[in-house]
Amino acid sequence: MKTLLLLLSLIVKSNQLTLSDCGTEARRPLFSDISVQCGTTSIGLAIRICPVMYTGYNETLLILNYMMDPACRATLDESVTPPVARFNFPLNMTNACGSLFRTTSAAGTGIFSDFSNIQTVNISGVVRSMDLTTGAITYNAELKYYYSCAYPLQYLINNTQIDVSASSIAIQDNNGSFISTLRMGLFSDVNYTKPLIVPKLGIELRTDVFVEVKATNLTGQYYVLLDRCYASISALPSNSSFFNLFVSCSKDRFTTMITNGDSQSARFKFPAFRFIEQQNETVSTYYLHCITRLCEKSTCSTFKQCSKRRKRDTLDTSSEGITQTYTITSPEIVTKADSTGSKEQPLVADSQAKPVGLGVAVGILAFACLIALSVAALFYKKLRK
């Protein structure tokens, strides 16, 4: 009874929209009447209101997951054609208007085939109609609109070009992505405050490059965990040489992990290098790619355990594997291929070679002069006799 009274107190007349305004939209409901927008911070539902009115309800009688909270109620939007009832709620377990959060795991495929445990979080629920008819019978059909959003929690992030796909609107369920919340930044200082500026002639070899993969506007229940970061000569690593900075718990001896899986940003650094096959070019240009996982706070420690993930020596770089992922952009990395004046081969070695060579030459000349004097003295004695 209390629930009914609360509902009655929330019911208002549906703006001035009447069934006669609906035209051909005044019909029986269809499965395609709900649209689902799986955003990065919230989920949006849009239900065509005219079929709802045709059945005997309005937007105030559509209840999301039995929640009577005003923040979980629908609002009428007549600015679009056909008009819709809209729901919008945040992606947060504590106030997602009763939505069910369910995380599943499966073996990785394509670009993620190196990993045996890829997580996906599915967020689902239902919008139901509330029939206020009193008496023994009703002529109103019960309406149920199911929605579902699946968010993969593993992404390929590289510093090439922007190729972020917008979430498409599905009939009853949809795939969402947190990729737009993720950014890769290159910095020149340990405090990650000074962006790395790469000159045209490239940066010096062994210059420290500080890398940060950060999530912004992401629901607070997920942390950023880097599974693998590698460099490749090609912007897309298909048919390209690549070098692993780290894979799972195995890392190059010059790569330093600073923080990973402990917050909404992951950081590491590595000294600038060059690819040997580019040694005859003026500069060595390559791109950094990171396979990134979003893990729930309570499960991040599990994915840090090396035994939970497989490692392989090769990377699936097929075009199919790439197009199934997303990419974001940051500057390319350019290093000086010419070692002259670099930190790798200081000039001091050459300066020591010159005096050694000069000393040898002087010694040889002195020895020759000594022999010449000895021969001259011998001839002189013979002439005296």
DSSP state letter for 151: E
Q: What is the dihedral of CA 63, 65, 68, 70, to 10 degrees?
A: -80
DSSP 323-350: HTS-BB--PPEEEES--TT-SSS-THHH
AA identity, residue 378: L
pTM summary value = 0.63
> Which pair of structure tokens corresponds to residue 67?
């929640």
Neighbours of 369 (CB within 10 A): 10
AA identity, residue 140: N
AA identity, residue 167: S
**Per-residue b/e over 24-33, b at no fewer than 16 CB within 10 Å?**
ebeeebeeeb
Of the candidates 311, 159, 316, 329, the one whose C-alpha atom is nearest the C-alpha of residue 239 is 316
Q: How confident is the model at residue 12, as a pLDDT?
A: 47
Domains of the chain: 19-132+139-177 (2.60.40.3210), 181-303+324-336 (2.60.40.4100)
Q: Are 68 and 3 in contact (CB under 8 A)?
A: yes
Q: What is the mean pLDDT of each run of 10 residues along the chain (385 residues)?
A: 50 66 89 88 92 91 92 93 93 86 75 67 90 80 89 68 24 64 89 90 90 84 86 73 84 91 93 86 86 83 63 37 36 70 38 40 56 60 55
Of the candidates 129, 126, 151, the one whose C-alpha atom is nearest the C-alpha of residue 140 is 129
Of the candidates 138, 21, 28, 5, the one whose C-alpha atom is nearest the C-alpha of residue 78 is 21
